[in-house]
Each structure stands twice: as C-alpha cells, then as structure tokens.
Amino acid sequence: MTTLAETKTEDLVEYYFEQAWSDGLPVVPPTPEKIAAVIDALGGDPEHLEAVVPPRRGGLTRQILAVNMVMAGCKPEYAPVVRAAMLALCSPAFNLNGVQATTHMVSPLLVVNGPIRREIGMNSGHNVFGSGNRANATIGRAIRMILLSVGGGTPGDLDKSTLGSPAKYTYCIAENEEISPWAPYHVEHGMNPDDSSVFVIASEPPHSVTNHIADDAEGVLDSIISAMSTIAHNNAVSSGSCAVVIGPEHAATISKSGWTRHDVRNYLWMNAGNKFSALSFNDRYGKIYNRNLPRWYKREPDARIPIVPSADDIHLFVAGGEAGRFSAFIPGWGHMTSPVLLRIDGTSPDAAAMCEDGTCRL
C-alpha cells in the first residue's frame, strides 16, 4: 500500500478530486481507523490479495479494497458483499477486460440474495434501482470506484464507451424475496435459502415495462416480450444473456395464473425475438451472416431469432415496491461475457445441488 506523506492540502476531498481518485462525486477521505474497521470485517491481513482487476491489472489487496469502500461511503459490514462482487467480476467468465474497454454502454449489475440483504439494510422494494439507500448506493459505488482506480477503467482512456450510462455510478439491487411468489434466484440456482449470494451480469440500464391492464400471466409477459423484441440492443445481434426484473404486482398476477419461474422464462424465451430479415436489414447492406449469433439459428428471412440462446440465459428476479404494475427488461452486453453467481464467501454454487423450480446452469 502506498501511503503518501501528509499533504499540505487542507481540503482532502478536493485533494482526491485533483488526483482523479474519484468517480466525479466527492469521496469520503479515508482515515486509518475507518480502513482498519473494514480490513477487520474482511478477516484481517491488509496485504492479502483478493483479486487482480483488469484491464490495468491493479492488485486488489484488503487494504485497497478497504480504502475504496471507505471512499465510497460504505459501512464495514458491507465488506463481504463488495468482496464477493469483485471476485465474481474478476473471474475469467465475466471478461471484465472487455466490459471495461468496450464502446458499448455496459455496466455490471449486482444482485444480492439471501439473509445478508436484511442484515445490512439493503433496499429491494420501492425505487430499488434508484437513490436513497446507503447499502445499495455505496456498495455499487465502491465497485465502480475499484473498476476506475484499480482496474484503470478511466473514461476516454481505457474505458472507450461511446455513451456510458448512469449505471456506471452505482448499479446494485437486492431481490425482494419476501414479496416474491417464487423461490429466490439463488435457490433456483441450487443454493439454500440461508445462503447469501452475489450475481453479476454485464448489462444495460433497465428498460421499463408497463402493463396496467392484464390480469393473467400471458398479458404481463407479452409486454416484457415487446421490450425484448427489438434489434437495437446487443442481445439481438450478439446473443449472450439478459435479466428480467418482475415487479411485485406483476409477479402476483403471473403467479395467480399458476406459472412458475421456469414457465415464465420459457414463455419469454419462446416468444421474444426478431425475424432474421429484420436483423439482416432485408439484405440492404449485402448478404449478412451474423457470426455473433449461434450457428444453429436459421439464416432465412422468416426465421425467428431468439434474443438469447436458451431460456436459462434469461435471469429472472422479483424486485421493487408492492404498488405499481411495472417490470423491467435489462439487455446484456452479448456473448462476450457470462454472468457469475457466487456465494457470499466467494465459492461457486454446487453444480450437483438440487435446483428448485429451475436450473443449475448459469
């Protein structure tokens, strides 16, 4: 850890701005006491290396993790979540190297499941993607600050995103397991309800899905399908995986029709998509064989091209407040990345576990 000498700068907040050690918002100047509290929460040993963060490949020691968490405004008890999220983001399948450098507006979305959500006071209800909750806001911010400083994802420098997105400040939610009619996401993927987990997916910001009229599963899901069925997002042309967040009122309606999570994901997969003629612009720019889509898709004008290769590539969550007939579709970056689910201790879900109402495959 580099500890610079005492600075003459009176205002430490301004000093951190001047060094470009900030996401553009004021940071909390770290103190030895605050850093020590986070390192304790991580298990001690400040020099212990947790991860190497691409593309700069800076070393994320517990000390550096703690410095960034303090600067982002995190409490020490958020430490296991931030650490697990960084382990997930730095696992090879996620391809953080590409996520950080691409021209696309992608940002990692973090979804937290299990008891830790409540223990640290995360918001999974009203305004779940919005502001106003310290845990959601500062966990997501700490991750972004680590991607910026340790990972070197500086805008215009290594980060070549054409437009970026507001999700590049903070993008962290918890599943509303209490209100959901279904098993939580991590249970669907083979964990126990008592496990806590982090799920990361490289994705766009959420796209709102309104439906105030349908009183059955098909109606609500057809609106989500409408949001999914466009040639504008990366899934349409580059496959990969995506997320769907169902609001509690919509979830209740779907569940009242007797549908399981599995039914929902299959229905979405079966009915969302584009015709190949739309993706190929009716050959306006010559005959196109899109090599970023699976080779087993038919390249014929009337063929239906699914948004993602399988229903298991649709990651389904229930989140949001109890009032309001809204859901959200969250397009992914494409086949260049795979989402990652880890237990809060950083271990992978047991592939041999029984999976309730779904699949063990990520």
Minimum CB–partner distance for residue 139 and other proteins (Å): 16
Q: Which residues contact 204 (CB under 8 A, 6 or more apart)?
A: 105, 106, 165, 167, 233, 234, 330, 331, 332, 333
SS3 track for 108-164: EEEEEECCHHHHCCCCCCCCCCCCCCHHHHHHHHHHHHHHHHCCCCCECCCECCCCC
- Closest to other proteins by CB, 148 vs 305, is 148
- Closest to other proteins by CB, 223 vs 280, is 280
- Closest to other proteins by CB, 19 vs 127, is 19
- Please tell me what DSSP assigns to residue 6: P
Minimum CB–partner distance for residue 125 and other proteins (Å): 32
Minimum CB–partner distance for residue 169 and other proteins (Å): 16
Minimum CB–partner distance for residue 91 and other proteins (Å): 13
- Closest to other proteins by CB, 6 vs 302, is 6
Minimum CB–partner distance for residue 92 and other proteins (Å): 8
Nearest-angstrom CA–CA distance, 168 and 77: 23
Q: Which of 58, 61, 75, 73 is nearest to 26 (CA)?
A: 73
Nearest-angstrom CA–CA distance, 239 and 334: 5
- Closest to other proteins by CB, 2 vs 354, is 2
Q: Which of 178, 172, 175 is nearest to 186 (CA)?
A: 175
Minimum CB–partner distance for residue 219 and other proteins (Å): 36
Minimum CB–partner distance for residue 285 and other proteins (Å): 9
Residues at the contact surface with other proteins, assessed by CB under 8 A: 1-7, 12, 15, 19, 21, 30-32, 35, 53-61, 64, 67-68, 71, 92, 95, 97-98, 101-103, 145, 149-150, 152, 157-158, 160, 291-292, 335-337
Minimum CB–partner distance for residue 212 and other proteins (Å): 39
Minimum CB–partner distance for residue 359 and other proteins (Å): 22
- Closest to other proteins by CB, 103 vs 348, is 103
- Closest to other proteins by CB, 220 vs 293, is 293
Supply angle C-alpha 315, 193, 241, rounded to 5: 10
Token digits of residue 21: 């050690």
Token digits of residue 118: 């409540």
- Closest to other proteins by CB, 67 vs 318, is 67
- Closest to other proteins by CB, 268 vs 340, is 340
Give whole-number Cα distances, 343 to 137, 146, 256, 347, in Å: 21, 20, 31, 5
Kind and range of the H or E run holding 58: strand 58-61
User: How long, in residues, is the chain?
Assistant: 362
235 within 8 A of 310, measured Cβ to Cβ? no
- Closest to other proteins by CB, 167 vs 202, is 202
Radius of gyration of the chain (CA): 21
Q: Strand, helix or coil at 326?
A: strand
Nearest-angstrom CA–CA distance, 348 and 306: 29
Minimum CB–partner distance for residue 47 and other proteins (Å): 11
